[in-house]
Chains A and B, each alone.
Chain A
Amino acid sequence: AQRVTQPEKLLSVFKGAPVELKCNYSYSGSPELFWYVQYSRQRLQLLLRHISRESIKGFTADLNKGETSFHLKKPFAQEEDSAMYYCALSGQGKYGNKLVFGAGTILRVKS
């Protein structure tokens, strides 16, 4: 079964503190992992995907196949990082596969 688990509903940190949003997944095969972000009153948008191995807005995420995890990290949180973050996976499919989302984690960065 395809499943994404985000264990924290809310993560509250102070500005300048490190951030780690946890994501674990269950998938038999080689999934592609994503982080999506939704800022207040904005649409869901892609933050990063594991195959790109990019750092976006200071965020990075490493796919750990042994631990089936794809945690999102940022060394120094900023107030503008406050948003809802969703981890998602996609399997393999001829037409591009469906996205399976976790329940999301609200990140609140306090000043």
Chain B
Amino acid sequence: DAGVTQSPTHLIKTRGQQVTLRCSPKSGHDTVSWYQQALGQGPQFIFQYYEEEERQRGNFPDRFSGHQFPNYSSELNVNALLLGDSALYLCASGRPRGSSYEQYFGPGTRLTVT
């Protein structure tokens, strides 16, 4: 099991463009969460998907949207990119049992907006 995988590894986009990031969860996991990690900061929660629906959302604008597919993989879409969207985007997967659960992180996608 390769664990959580993300693609692409790096991405450079221009301000105003749109971007799609992809995540495949660890085998056996059905929940995917996305985090944004700006330079020098800890990861910040964007949203969480379970059963192909967005279940929780952090304090991010509607420009950030996502999707979960029947095979549990997920996409993060960001529209109208801003310079401030430059960050490492992390995907984490897990299998909730009870009130909380262990999340496994992917290596991240480094997005640079110029």
Contact = CB atoms under 8 A, between A and B. Distances in A.
Contacts of A93: 56, 99-100
Interface residues of A, number: 25
A95 B102 contact: no
B76 to A, nearest CB: 15
Interface string A46-64: 1001000000000000000
A99 B43 contact: yes
A106 B58 CA distance: 26
A4 B104 CA distance: 20
Contacts, number: 69
Contacts of A45: 104-105
A101 B35 CA distance: 10
Interface stretch (B8-16, B44-52, B66-74): B44-52
Interface in B10-67: 31, 33, 35, 40-45, 48, 50, 55-56, 58
B40 A95 contact: no
A101 B55 contact: no
B102 A97 contact: no
Interface in B70-114: 90, 92, 94, 96, 99-108
Given A96-B31, A100-B45, A44 B90 contact: yes
Given A43-B108, A45-B104, A100-B45, 17 more contacts: A32-B99, A44-B90, A45-B105, A91-B100, A93-B100, A95-B48, A95-B50, A95-B56, A95-B96, A96-B31, A96-B48, A96-B94, A96-B96, A98-B45, A98-B48, A99-B45, A103-B41
Interface of A: 4, 32, 36, 43-46, 49, 86, 88, 90-104
